[in-house]
Amino acid sequence: MTTQTQTQTKLPKLPIGIQTFDAIRTEGYLYVDKTRYLIDLIDSGKVYFLSRPRRFGKSLTISTFDALFSGKREFFKGLYAEEFFSRPDYKVHPVVKLDMSQVITDTIKAIRDSMTLLVKRNAERLAVSVSDLALKNPSTALGEMLESVSRKHGAPVAVLVDEYDKPVLDFVTQSEKAGEVRSILRNFYTQIKAEDASTRFVFVTGISKFSKMGIFSAMNNLEDISMDVAHSTMLGYTEEELLACFKEHIDSMSMERECGADELVAQIRDYYDGFSFDGQHRVYNPFSTLNFFKKREFRNYWFESATPSFLAQYVKQHDLEVESFRGRQVAEDFTSVTEIENASPESFLFQSGYLTARGRRGGNFVLDYPNMEVLSAVAKLFLYGKFEFTEAGVSANNLERALEEGRVEELIEIYNSLLASLPYDIYEREERQYAEEWSVKNHAPYRAESFYHALLFALLWSSRIRTNAESHSHWGRSDIEAEKNGYRYVIEMKVANGPKATAKAADDAMKQIRAKGYADKYGTDVVLIALAIDRTQRRIGAFRIVPEQ
Same domain, 335 and 470: no
Q: Is residue 478 part of a domain?
A: yes
Q: Which are the contacts of 354, defined by CB distance < 8 A and separation ≥ 6?
A: 311, 369, 374, 378
Q: Is residue 128 part of a domain?
A: yes
Same domain, 296 and 314: yes
Say what the pLDDT of residue 5 is.
Answer: 46
- pLDDT, tens digit (0-9, with 9 covering 90-100), for 241-256: 999 999 999 999 999 9
Q: What is the pLDDT averaged over residues 202-228?
A: 78
Same domain, 399 and 265: no
308 has pLDDT over 60? no
Least confident of 232-241, 248-257, 304-313, 437-446: 437-446
Please report the sign of the dihedral spanned by the C-alpha atoms of residue 320, residue 321, residue 325, residue 331.
negative
Same domain, 71 and 166: yes
Same domain, 38 and 155: yes
- pLDDT, tens digit (0-9, with 9 covering 90-100), for 319-354: 677 777 888 899 888 887 566 666 788 888 898 899
With 0-12 CB in 10 A as exposed, 13-18 as middle and 19+ as buried, what is 189?
buried
Same domain, 265 and 222: no
Q: How far apart are the first and last CA of the chain?
A: 45
Mean per-residue pLDDT over the chain, rounded: 87
Same domain, 78 and 105: yes
Enclosing domain of residue 194: 32-231
CATH number of the domain bearing residue 451:
3.40.1350
Which of 381, 404, 429 is where one domain is finished? 381
CATH number of the domain bearing residue 105:
3.40.50
Say what the pLDDT of residue 2 is.
Answer: 43
Which of 356, 381, 406 is where one domain is finished? 381
Which of 349, 381, 413 is where one domain is finished? 381
Q: What is the pLDDT averaged over residues 219-224?
A: 81
Same domain, 136 and 122: yes
Strand partners, 159: 96, 202
Q: Is residue 393 part of a domain?
A: yes
Q: Is residue 90 part of a domain?
A: yes
Please report the sign of the dihedral spanned by the C-alpha atoms of residue 518, residue 521, residue 523, residue 526.
negative
Strand partners, 477: 472
Same domain, 319 and 414: no
- pLDDT, tens digit (0-9, with 9 covering 90-100), for 180-214: 998 899 999 999 999 999 999 999 999 887 664 45
Number of domain units in the chain: 3
Q: Is residue 17 part of a domain?
A: no
Same domain, 373 and 411: no
pLDDT over 90, % of the chain: 60
Say what the pLDDT of residue 319 is.
Answer: 67
Same domain, 156 and 37: yes
Same domain, 205 and 263: no
